[in-house]
Every structure is written in C-alpha cells, then in structure tokens.
Amino acid sequence: MFFRDQYQAIKNRDPAFRSPAEILFYASFWALLLHKLAHGLYNLRLYVLARLVSQLSRFLTQIEIHPGAKIGRRLFMDHGAAVVIGETAEIGEDVLMYQGVTLGGTGKGKGKRHPTLEDHVLVGAGAKILGGITIGEGSRIGAGSVVLDDIPPHSTVVGIPGKVVRVKGQDKQTDVTDQYIETLEHRFPDPVNKEICELRARVEALEQALKNKENTKDA
C-alpha cells in the first residue's frame, strides 16, 4: 500500500514525473520509507535505534523527520530538502509540502508542542509552522509564512506572522482596494500590500475632506 500511495502522490502532484521507475529518485519517497521503519522502532520504545534510522535518513535525503511524528497516507514533499518535522507533529492524508518547511516547536515544554496538519493541506516553500497548533483541512500556507496560531479549514495564509487572507476562496475582508482585487487569482495575495493600499485610500479620503472643508470656509 505504501508504494502504491507514494506512486499516486508523486504522479498526481509532480508534473515532471514521467515513469514509475523515477519514484526511486525522489528524496520524499526514501524519507517516508525510512520514517516508517523509525516510527515502528519508536513505538516499540527502541528510541536509540529509531533515532539512528532517522539520522541516516536525514544524511541521505536532507529531510529530518523525528521518529515520533505521525504521518498520514500520500504525503509528498516536493524537492524536500531542509524539511524538518518535529516529534509530536501530526500530518493528515494527501498533504503537499515544498522544500524548507518546518513543523517545529516554540519552547522546551512537554506534551503536544508541534503542529497538526489536517487532510489536503498545502505548505509553500520555506514556511514555518510552530507550536501545538492545528492547520485546518484544505488550507494553503504561503511560501515563507510563519504561522503561530490555529488556522480554520479551507483558508489561505500568508505573511510574518501568518494571517488568514481568504476563507473558502473568499477574501476575509470585503473593503479591499482595486489594486488588491486585481491580484492574479493563481497567486497568494499580499496582506502587507493590501494594508498599504487601504492606508493610501484613507489618506486620500482625508486629504479630500480637508480640501472640501477649506473650500467651504473660503466660500
């Protein structure tokens, strides 16, 4: 089942995939295969052997997955280099992550200290998701974002710190400027640019109000 799932995940998510034999050249495939072994050893409380396998996987693939992490079916880490997944992280099914993603903690506390990614989540390159938070089903995390809070399902998150800018395909705020509305649909919107556009519109409105007031006094 693992081999079939990985074949389907890579075939469906990577447009560069050409033949079944290529699965052997994907770092994501080997990292997840070795993680299955490490996770099994971890569950048997063979912690040293589990860490040995995970460190071997890190050396071979440049992907670091703690043996304690729980990973669902058909995860695909496109390119995968520098991905880090912490001990108490939980990943659902059909999740897509790009290179440089970190599912990390925010301190030295015990218990659930790493994120949970529900099914069908997409995490862009270089994104950092930190703490025992939950990323809702079907959400999209923009490249380079730093997410520190729970994210509702089917949301789009961008920025540092990460902000929800869309929920179920609809802009979170309706009073957006024309410049923001013109953002291409296939790109993640920029919340900083949106704020700048809104501030500019407010300044222009205030300037016009002052001008109108001055004209009234002169009259």
CA dist., res. 182 & res. 36, Å (int)? 45
CA dist., res. 129 & res. 90, Å (int)? 12
- Cβ–Cβ < 8 Å for 127, 145: yes
Structural domain ending residue among the three candidates 154, 172, 190: 172
DSSP classification of residue 164? E
Cα 140 versus chain centre, distance? 6
Structural domain ending residue among the three candidates 153, 172, 191: 172
Residues 155 and 178 in one domain: no
The tally of domains found in the chain comes to 2
Residues 93 and 184 in one domain: no
Residues 150 and 212 in one domain: no
Q: What is the CA radius of gyration of the chain?
A: 22
Is the Cα torsion angle 47, 48, 50, 55 positive or negative in sign? positive
Residues 163 and 178 in one domain: no
pLDDT tens digit at each of 219 positions of the chain? 888 888 888 888 888 888 888 889 999 999 999 999 999 999 999 999 999 999 999 999 999 999 999 999 999 999 889 999 999 999 999 999 999 999 998 877 788 899 999 999 999 999 999 999 999 999 999 999 999 999 999 999 998 888 888 887 666 654 443 443 344 334 555 667 778 888 888 898 888 888 888 887 766
Residues 162 and 180 in one domain: no
What pLDDT score was predicted for residue 175? 41
Closest-CA residue to 143 (of 119, 125, 116): 125
Provide the 3-class DSSP secondary structure of residue 43.
Answer: helix
Residues 108 and 133 in one domain: yes
What pLDDT score was predicted for residue 90? 95
Structure-token pair, residue 167: 């929920």
Closest-CA residue to 62 (of 94, 34, 20): 34
Backbone phi, then psi, for 171, in 5-degree steps? -60, 140
What pLDDT score was predicted for residue 176? 40
Residues 147 and 197 in one domain: no
The whole-model pTM stands at: 0.75
What pLDDT score was predicted for residue 188? 54
Range of the domain at 156: 2-172
What pLDDT score was predicted for residue 179? 41
Closest-CA residue to 54 (of 26, 79, 85, 77): 85
Residues 212 and 125 in one domain: no
Residues 182 and 161 in one domain: no
Residues 125 and 208 in one domain: no
Residues 32 and 125 in one domain: yes
Q: Which residue has the tokens 């993640």?
A: 188
Residues 183 and 140 in one domain: no
Q: Residue 31 burial by CB count (10 A; 0-12/13-18/19+): exposed, middle or buried? A: buried
- Cβ–Cβ < 8 Å for 150, 132: no
